């Protein structure tokens, strides 16, 4: 009986490395599918923007990719709903420091901040925004009709807040600009909002 010849260690190590490498390769044309849903993955954001989506609240939107935010949630009792507050800081990858006395309307500077509140309420039996506002906010505020994503109906209050009617919810967007001008940043992105149906 012949004894097998020993395989040199270098050849054995190279063969094992080649097998490990081949096992990590994917078939051409296939992409890995994430095991958890990706936030904002189904939003159509412009290059450089990021998507935020909250399936529980029933909406999502695109925001500038150079924003960093801290989110807080708080339930509301009257009318029943949920407030999501976003503390936003402008944080580009690299930016020269801004002058302390820069002109109004100039480009944002690293560290500029602002916050916005997105309130989500149950729609209930309201057939339109004016009826919901009258019943729930106890006011007959003037509403200016606007387009807002795929909302069934949307309007703007005189104070600048926006309100949208979806099949199940009413959403109010309240922008509070600090050094970062949220109106300038968010107004052109209103059409990226997606309300779930």
Are 166 and 193 spatial neighbours (Cβ–Cβ below 8 Å)? no
Mean pLDDT value of segment 60-71: 95
Are 173 and 116 spatial neighbours (Cβ–Cβ below 8 Å)? yes
Inside any domain, residue 125: yes
pLDDT band for position 31 (50/70/90)?
very low
Which pLDDT score is estimated for 148? Answer: 96
Inside any domain, residue 130: yes
Inside any domain, residue 138: yes
Question: How far apart are the two ends of the chain, measured CA to CA in Å?
Answer: 76
pTM of this structure = 0.75
In whole angstroms, give the CA distance from residue 45 to residue 52: 10
Which pLDDT score is estimated for 32? Answer: 46
pLDDT tens figures, 109-144: 888 999 999 999 999 899 999 999 999 988 877 899
CATH of residue 191's domain is: 3.40.1000.10
pLDDT band for position 197 (50/70/90)?
low
Structural domain total, the chain: 1
Backbone phi, psi, residue 20, to 5°: -65, -40
Instruction: Give which of 82, 84, 93, 91 is closest to 52, Cα–Cα.
Output: 84
> By residue range, what is the domain housing residue 80?
37-95+106-195
26 vs 171: which has the higher pLDDT? 171
pLDDT exceeds cutoff 60 at 182? yes
12 vs 174: which has the higher pLDDT? 174
In whole angstroms, give the CA distance from residue 146 to residue 155: 5
- What percent of the chain is predicted at pLDDT more than 70? 73
Inside any domain, residue 29: no
Inside any domain, residue 8: no
In whole angstroms, give the CA distance from residue 118 to residue 54: 11
Length of the chain: 197
Inside any domain, residue 30: no
pLDDT band for position 37 (50/70/90)?
very low
- What percent of the chain is predicted at pLDDT more than 90? 54
22 vs 193: which has the higher pLDDT? 193
In whole angstroms, give the CA distance from residue 190 to residue 192: 5
Inside any domain, residue 131: yes
């Amino acid at each position: 009986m012949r004894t097998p010849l020993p395989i040199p260690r270098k050849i054995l190590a190279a063969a094992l490395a080649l097998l490990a490498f081949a096992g990590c390769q994917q078939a051409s044309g296939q992409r890995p599918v994430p095991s958890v849903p990706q936030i904002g993955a189904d939003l159509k954001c412009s290059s450089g923007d990021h998507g935020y989506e909250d399936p529980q609240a029933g909406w999502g939107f695109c925001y500038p990719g150079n924003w960093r935010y801290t989110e807080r949630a708080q339930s509301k009792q009257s009318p029943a709903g949920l407030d999501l507050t976003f503390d936003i800081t402008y944080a580009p990858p690299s930016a020269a420091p801004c002058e302390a006395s820069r002109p109004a309307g100039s480009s944002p500077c690293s560290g500029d901040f602002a916050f916005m509140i997105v309130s989500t309420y149950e729609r209930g039996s309201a057939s339109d925004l004016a009826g919901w506002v009258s019943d729930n906010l106890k006011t007959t505020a003037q509403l200016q009709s606007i387009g807002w994503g795929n909302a069934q109906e949307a309007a703007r209050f005189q104070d600048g807040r926006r309100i949208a009617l979806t099949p199940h919810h009413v959403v109010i967007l309240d922008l509070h600009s600090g050094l970062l001008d949220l109106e300038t940043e968010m107004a052109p992105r209103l059409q990226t909002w997606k309300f779930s149906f």
